[in-house]
């Protein structure tokens, strides 16, 4: 488990999620876990590789790459 998973562009990191399994009885178990952003390698036009989340990747591919300042 990597604790330092976060996107350098939108600063999105892990989020704590509580999932409740509703049953018919009074017993309703809850699950606590962390949700991580979908981070993948992305190659910039100058050859550099950075790890960004898929939301930022879609934004970058839609707009022009020159607007990005990293
Ligand atoms: Zn991002």
Q: Compute, in angstroms, the gap from residue 32 CA to the centroid of ligand 1.
A: 24
Predicted TM-score (pTM) of the model is 0.59
* Mean pLDDT of the residues in the chain: 82
Give domain limits for the chain.
15-67
pLDDT at 32: 93
Interval 16-48: pLDDT, tens: 999 988 888 888 889 999 998 888 898 887 888
Q: Compute, in angstroms, the gap from residue 5 CA to the centroid of ligand 1.
A: 11
Q: Compute, in angstroms, the gap from residue 44 CA to the centroid of ligand 1.
A: 15
Q: Compute, in angstroms, the gap from residue 24 CA to the centroid of ligand 1.
A: 40
Could you count the other beta carbons within 10 Å of the beta carbon of residue 52?
23
């Amino acid at each position: 488990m990597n604790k330092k998973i976060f996107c350098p562009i939108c600063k999105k990191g892990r989020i704590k999620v509580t999932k409740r399994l509703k049953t018919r009885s009074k017993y309703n178990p809850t699950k606590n876990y962390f949700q991580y952003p979908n981070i993948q390698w992305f190659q910039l036009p100058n050859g550099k590789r950075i790890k960004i989340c898929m939301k930022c990747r879609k934004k970058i591919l839609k707009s022009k790459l020159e607007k990005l300042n990293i």
